[in-house]
């Protein structure tokens, strides 16, 4: 079988996102920011958010990482713009269930293009990579009363 | 000879005879933990099937049998690392616990404010964080020995860092990332000249070469059973008896105790004073079987086989464009650990791809974050070989890396 | 039913099917350590034959399998003792290490000069010496709860000893000498009323009865795998997460670490922050298999079987003139541990004689020297039963004691 | 087989010594004294010695213990009177080798009646019991420059 099974994980769209990530960089008008580390591999990811009328108006991410974490971050940024904190919370939960193989209910509706990361469920070691950016946006939203915050990703959470 | 030795050997390791993702498993994660020969697995099972009992205090037959095996392995370990006495052999959970005990017992007792503790930039967290904590507690300073550009320890830097203020020098005998073997005998000389003790993290050397703690003239030596074909949950701390006698125990209860009164307790002498509670008796029995297995082959032979294996694989890896290898390229200077990165690919992606090809390697910081920073990488991929690996395994690794490059060629640049 | 259950069971324990000194082995040293069913021994062997790898950090297939099993057992243990979350389940070497960690981490952090620590006279050294040391370090006082004349804990004395000065109360759930079961839920209420935490040494209760840490409303609970059919070298510390979160780790290195810089380190959260270095992974797998085995029978059934066994054996023992039994005689109040002495005979001589008859018991102070002094004996003989013991085993014990008396009749008086 | 094998350990002479130990009690003119504990079983043994012209002139022991330790102590006291420290040292070494099953060379010559404890070698769990008194006299002799000393027996020594 060999590498052919990799196609389930590294779908073309994922490779493209990783090679040319969307919203990569920094925001000038960032109101909230969070840096997360994945202690397993040393990846650091910073997510910045601007809000308008209780919705995410802009988002950016920076930092290096593997194909999965970069693509996941890129897709996340595409999907969260214009969403309310409650909607984002639901997205993160849905994404988490999808990549841990718990449930695929409504993934296309709720996650949009990011539903393509469904294949991660077959690669348990990579769940953390896929989750990193979603975990970050979740914590940003949770802490959005604070001006800025810094946190540590732990492999055991979510 | 090398080839023949290996063909027979592989049959001793049933786990290697399996397919992973439809490919024959090539297990190259030996620096993390090693596979166990049938002889070790059966020694543990037989202990439980025939002799299992708690040791030391028992008067009955099973207890005597268990105690004889438990204490017999202490002798075996002493011989294995050429310790002067089996009473210097302390059973621990593993290298991490062993090094922590040196820091918490010897260190907290003898390190004074203003003292210095010297380690290197290539240390595993287990030989780094305990010293950081000790330095904080006792008001000492933690200093780092530099590395040369090829990853070897810079002995000139060592001579500068180790001074009369130095209380403890602690260095890995072999690096778990760079594969490099460190000149611990030389470091021990420098340390002793300045009145410091020399601690050696032997986790990555003991499985692969003959250890002689007396020839190295060091003060403490730690290693893990699970990295040399023994069960998980058993490791060794060796220490010079003069030092062990001065050290307070850390875990209280069980066989380590001599006499308890309501408000006062006296302890046994070393090694027992350190062994609180029921020990991992079956793990000790398995460690004995693993040492028997390794010695039946011979540590010198193991070392030379692994060197020849690496000598044949390294050039093949170096031919792959875009592949960077960390650590010295001379096989004489290294063990069977090869850390590498493929340009433009994250090591996690490499490891996942290799796993699809049945090749098990590790990717990450390998519990050596300061070294990653020193090398200026986020992480590396790491293939680590052992006795049961073959030249074909090396070829499978090379082919899988080539296929991985091909797969990702059109993806990220 | 009891008889049938047992006949099938015994076949699961190959070690019991052997002769010792030409007699069929009757293993009655279960309070020291228990025998392992084939299912546990094979679970460990199968882990090594198929899945062995280091956990957590691995990207490859074996590492994922090993990690899933390792973390899966945490869930199983949480369910086994009804802990609210598996993140409160910490792997340790055994009860001794678990209790030491509570004393060294929680104790040294929170016990203040003038505080009091309250234990009982029947504690095992593992639940005594760590508190002695803590009391010395932190300037606290160690106090003892009295026993009633039949060996039960004196709850009136507990009410006197536990005061507003008390920081920690730590008591065995069941005594390893007297067999008595202590009212830990009641003690916990008293402790909490005074703002103290309640620590329970579950080494001798967990193998024999259903544990529910939430129903007991305690704060820490410790037990050993090897005393409940699991391998040696693995035990559990359970603690309330509010407390665990406040406690500093004790062993540094490996998976417990979050992020290391040259002079600073951050740690994972509980339970991982306590688990430094490679854990006893195969031991964890074996613990999971042992819990499965026990639960397939049912802890309630085990408890009632053992009670019926003791109820049938105690009267036979009491018929032997000159035989003194320590602890309450009501089977409802005790586990399967029977400590005794034969008048005029030292327990060591008794144990040697019984061993000649194939009956394995223990003789000595059972790591409870203060209790020996309290009972005013130098030592006792101890027969301890488990699930696989039968009424015939009890009869063999009784006969062997009678024969021993006979043998020594003309010797010492 | 059963208890019949016990005869190898509990020879009649041993049982008699244990029941009616010689030199049991205390010395009035004791110059040296040592208390040893056997942590395995809780036995405590005190040995007192008086010397004359560099020889043991009198000896006594007290404390409780098992048949083997009591008998061994009783026999020890019989054998050491009139002996020099060097002789006693040799006796202890010979006794130790005998009970650990190392060597039976010259046991009758050197140990006299105490050679009957030879059977202990077949009962490894009881070696410590047999050794206790011999270990005590050895330490008394070794420390005989001090006025009096107290020590702890450890199961790992000798
Ligand atoms: C009541 C009690 N507490 C603690 C222990 C210590 O257990 P372990 O030796 O497994 O650490 C024991 C076992 O000997 C015991 O019976
Ligand atoms: C160099 C080095 N030191 C220490 C350790 C820690 O060993 P263990 O996890 O067995 O305690 C390791 C293994 O990961 C290592 O490679």
Question: How many CB atoms within 10 Å of residue D65?
Answer: 27
Q: How confident is the model at residue A151 (pLDDT cuts 50, 70, 90)?
A: very low
Q: State the pairing for strand pair B26-27/B359-360.
A: parallel
Question: Which has the minimum average pLDDT: A32-46, B146-160, B386-400, C88-102?
Answer: A32-46
Q: pLDDT tens, B39-62?
A: 999 999 999 999 999 998 778 999
Q: What is the pLDDT of residue B3?
A: 62
- Which of A39, A125, A156 has its CB closest to that of C59? A125
Inform me whether the pLDDT recorded for C114 exceeds 90: yes
Q: Which residue among B53, B360, B367, B377 is the active-site one? A: B367
Q: In what order do the strands lie in the sheet with B220-224?
A: B89-92, B235-239, B220-224, B197-201, B166-172, B116-120, B141-145
Q: Which of B290, B222, B272 is nearest to B40 (CA)?
A: B290
Determine the atom of ligand 1 nearest the C-alpha atom of C93.
11
Question: Which has the minimum average pLDDT: B20-34, B330-344, C284-298, D31-45?
Answer: D31-45
Beta bridge partners of B259: B266
Q: What is the pTM of this model?
A: 0.95
Question: How many CB atoms within 10 Å of residue C336?
Answer: 27
Going from the Cα of B172 to the center of ligand 2, the distance in angstroms, rounded, reads 10
Chain A interface includes C56 (CB < 8 A)? yes
Query: Which of C 341-360 lie inside 8 A of B, CB atoms?
Result: 348, 351-352, 354-355, 359-360
Using DSSP's 3-state secondary structure scheme, residue C222 falls into strand
Chain B interface includes D154 (CB < 8 A)? yes
Can you count the helices (H) and strands (E) in chain C? 15, 17
Q: How confident is the model at residue C5 (pLDDT cuts 50, 70, 90)?
A: low
Chain C interface includes B191 (CB < 8 A)? no
- Which of B357, B403, B412 has its CB closest to that of A67? B412
Chain B interface includes C231 (CB < 8 A)? yes
Chain B interface includes D100 (CB < 8 A)? no
Q: pLDDT tens, C327-372?
A: 999 989 999 999 999 999 999 999 999 999 999 999 999 999 999 9
Long-range contacts of B293-300 (CB under 8 A, 24+ apart): B293/B12, B293/B37, B293/B39, B293/B40, B293/B229, B294/B207, B294/B228, B294/B229, B295/B80, B297/B5, B297/B9, B297/B387, B299/B209, B299/B210, B299/B211, B300/B210
Q: What is the pLDDT of residue C2?
A: 57
What percent of chain D clears pLDDT 70, i.e. is strictly above it?
90
* CA–CA gap between residue A135 and residue A36 (Å, rounded): 8
* CA–CA gap between residue A91 and residue A105 (Å, rounded): 12
* CA–CA gap between residue B278 and residue B281 (Å, rounded): 8
- Whole-number mean pLDDT of chain B? 95
Cβ–Cβ < 8 Å for B88, B115: no
| Rounded alpha-carbon distances, angstroms, from residue B337 to B179, B233, B312, B316, B333 | 5, 23, 14, 15, 11
Q: What is the pLDDT of residue C3?
A: 61
Over residues B123-148, mean pLDDT: 98
* Residue C253 to chain B, least CA–CA distance (Å): 4
Residue B358 backbone phi and psi in degrees, to 5:
85, 5
Going from the Cα of B197 to the center of ligand 1, the distance in angstroms, rounded, reads 35
Q: Which residues of A touch B412 (CB under 8 A)?
A: 15, 18-19, 67
* CA–CA gap between residue B33 and residue B31 (Å, rounded): 6
Residue C201, ligand 1, Cβ within 6 A: yes
Cβ–Cβ < 8 Å for B182, B214: no
Q: Which residues of B touch A39 (CB under 8 A)?
A: 365
Cβ–Cβ < 8 Å for C170, C117: yes
Cβ–Cβ < 8 Å for B256, B15: no
Instruction: Kindly give, in sequence order, each residue whose CB lies less than 8 Å from that of residue B121, ignoring residues fewer than 6 positions away.
Output: B144, B145, B146, B147, B370, B371, B374
Q: State the pairing for strand pair A55-62/C197-201.
A: unpaired
Determine whether the interchain pair A42/B356 forms a contact, defined as Cβ–Cβ distance below 8 Å.
no
Ligand minimally distant from the alpha carbon of residue C100: 1
Q: How confident is the model at residue A141 (pLDDT cuts 50, 70, 90)?
A: confident
Instruction: List the single best residue of B44, B252, B267 to mutate versus C (max C Cβ within 10 A).
Output: B252
Instruction: Kindly give, in sequence order, each residue whose CB lies less than 8 Å from that of residue A99, ignoring residues fewer than 6 positions away.
Output: A117, A118, A120, A121, A127, A130, A131
Instruction: Kindly give, in sequence order, each residue whose CB lies less than 8 Å from that of residue C408, ignoring residues fewer than 6 positions away.
Output: C344, C345, C349, C353, D10, D15, D67
Q: In what order do the strands lie in the sheet with C220-224?
A: C89-92, C235-239, C220-224, C197-201, C166-172, C116-120, C141-145
Over residues A7-25, mean pLDDT: 92
- Which of A5, A39, A40 has its CB closest to that of B21? A5
Determine whether the interchain pair B129/C97 forms a contact, defined as Cβ–Cβ distance below 8 Å.
no
Going from the Cα of B95 to the center of ligand 2, the distance in angstroms, rounded, reads 6
Inform me whether the pLDDT recorded for B373 exceeds 80: yes
Using DSSP's 3-state secondary structure scheme, residue B152 falls into coil
Q: Which of B197, B203, B253, B193 is nearest to B220 (CA)?
A: B197
Chains that touch C (3 or more CB pairs under 8 A): A, B, D
Q: What is the pLDDT of residue D149?
A: 46
Q: How confident is the model at residue B410 (pLDDT cuts 50, 70, 90)?
A: low
Cα B225 off chain centre by? 8
Q: Which of B333, B327, B330, B386 is nearest to B182 (CA)?
A: B333
Residue C3 backbone phi and psi in degrees, to 5:
-65, -45
Q: Which of C204, C146, C144, C173 is nearest to C338 (CA)?
A: C204
| Rounded alpha-carbon distances, angstroms, from residue C46 to A113, A134, C42 | 42, 37, 6
Q: pLDDT tens, C204-261?
A: 999 999 999 999 999 999 999 999 999 999 999 999 999 999 999 999 998 898 889 9
Question: How many CB atoms within 10 Å of residue C17?
Answer: 11
CA–CA–CA angle C56, C61, C67 (5° rounding): 30
Q: pLDDT tens, B221-233?
A: 999 999 999 999 9
Inform me whether the pLDDT recorded for C389 exceeds 60: yes
Chain B interface includes D128 (CB < 8 A)? no
- Which of A125, A126, A154 has its CB closest to that of C258? A154
Burial (0-12, 13-18, 19+ Cβ within 10 Å), C316: middle
Q: How confident is the model at residue B413 (pLDDT cuts 50, 70, 90)?
A: very low
The 8-class DSSP code of residue C263 comes to S
* CA–CA gap between residue C184 and residue C170 (Å, rounded): 9
Q: What is the pLDDT of residue C4?
A: 60
Query: Which of A 21-80 lie inside 8 A of C, CB atoms?
Result: 37, 39-40
Which portions of chain D are predicted below pLDDT 50?
148-158
| Rounded alpha-carbon distances, angstroms, from residue C14 to B236, C17, C309 | 31, 5, 22
* Residue A54 to chain C, least CA–CA distance (Å): 32
Does residue C367 have an active-site annotation?
A: yes
Q: pLDDT tens, B288-325?
A: 999 999 999 999 999 999 999 999 999 999 999 999 99
Chain C interface includes A122 (CB < 8 A)? no
* Residue B96 to chain D, least CA–CA distance (Å): 27
Going from the Cα of B222 to the center of ligand 2, the distance in angstroms, rounded, reads 9
Q: What is the pLDDT of residue D152?
A: 40
Which carries the bigger pLDDT value, residue B284 or residue B267? Answer: B284
Token readout for C141 is 């006082």
Determine the atom of ligand 2 nearest the C-alpha atom of B201.
3
Structure ipTM: 0.93
Cβ–Cβ < 8 Å for D32, D51: yes
Q: How confident is the model at residue B2 (pLDDT cuts 50, 70, 90)?
A: low
């Amino acid at each position: 079988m060999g590498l052919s099974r990799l196609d389930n994980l590294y779908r073309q769209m994922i490779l493209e996102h990783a090679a040319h990530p969307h919203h990569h960089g920094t925001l000038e008008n960032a109101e909230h920011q969070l840096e997360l580390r994945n202690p397993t591999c040393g990846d650091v990811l910073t997510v910045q958010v601007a809000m308008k009328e209780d919705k995410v108006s802009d988002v950016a991410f920076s930092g290096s990482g593997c194909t999965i974490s970069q693509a996941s971050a890129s897709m996340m940024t595409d999907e969260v713009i214009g969403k309310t904190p409650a909607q984002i919370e639901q997205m993160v939960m849905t994404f988490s269930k999808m990549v841990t193989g718990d449930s695929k209910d409504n993934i296309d509706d709720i996650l949009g293009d990011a539903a393509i990361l469904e294949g991660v469920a077959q690669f348990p070691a990579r769940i953390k990579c896929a989750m990193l950016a979603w975990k970050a946006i979740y914590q940003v939203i949770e802490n959005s009363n604070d001006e800025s915050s810094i946190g540590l990703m732990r492999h055991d959470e979510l | 000879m090398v080839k023949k030795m290996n063909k027979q050997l592989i049959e001793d390791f049933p786990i290697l005879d399996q397919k992973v993702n439809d490919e024959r498993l090539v297990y190259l994660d030996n620096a993390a933990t090693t596979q166990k020969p049938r002889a070790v697995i059966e020694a543990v099972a037989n202990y439980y099937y025939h002799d299992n009992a708690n040791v030391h205090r028992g008067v009955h037959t099973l207890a005597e049998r268990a105690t004889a095996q438990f204490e017999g392995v202490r002798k075996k370990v002493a011989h294995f690392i050429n310790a002067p006495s089996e009473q210097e052999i302390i059973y621990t959970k593993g290298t991490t616990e062993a090094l922590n005990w040196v820091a918490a017992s010897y260190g907290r007792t003898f390190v004074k404010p203003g003292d210095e503790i010297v380690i290197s930039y290539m240390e595993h967290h287990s030989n780094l964080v305990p010293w950081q904590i000790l330095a904080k507690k006792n008001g000492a300073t933690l200093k780092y020995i530099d590395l040369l550009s090829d990853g070897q320890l810079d002995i000139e830097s060592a001579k500068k860092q180790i001074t009369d203020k130095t209380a403890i020098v602690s260095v890995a005998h072999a690096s778990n990332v760079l594969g490099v073997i460190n000149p611990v005998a030389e470091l021990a000389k420098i340390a002793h000249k300045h009145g410091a003790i020399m601690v050696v993290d032997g986790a990555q050397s003991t499985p692969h070469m003959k250890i002689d703690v007396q020839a190295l003239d060091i003060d403490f030596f730690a290693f893990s059973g699970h990295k040399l074909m023994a069960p998980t949950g058993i490791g060794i701390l060796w220490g010079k008896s003069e030092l062990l006698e001065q050290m307070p125990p850390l875990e209280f209860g069980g066989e380590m105790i001599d006499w308890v009164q309501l408000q006062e307790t006296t302890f046994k002498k070393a090694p027992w004073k350190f062994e609180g509670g029921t020990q991992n008796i079956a793990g000790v029995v398995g460690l004995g079987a693993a040492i028997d297995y390794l010695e039946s082959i011979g540590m010198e032979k193991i070392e030379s086989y692994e060197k020849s294996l690496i000598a044949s694989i390294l050039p093949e890896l170096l031919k792959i464009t875009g592949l960077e290898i960390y650590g010295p390229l001379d096989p004489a200077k290294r063990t069977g650990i090869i850390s590498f990165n493929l340009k433009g690919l994250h090591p996690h992606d490499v490891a996942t791809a290799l796993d699809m090809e049945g090749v098990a390697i590790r990717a990450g910081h390998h519990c050596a974050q300061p070294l990653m920073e020193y090398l200026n990488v986020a992480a590396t991929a790491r293939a680590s070989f052992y006795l049961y690996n073959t030249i074909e395994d090396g070829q499978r690794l090379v082919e899988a890396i080539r296929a991985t490059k091909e797969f990702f060629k059109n993806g990220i640049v």
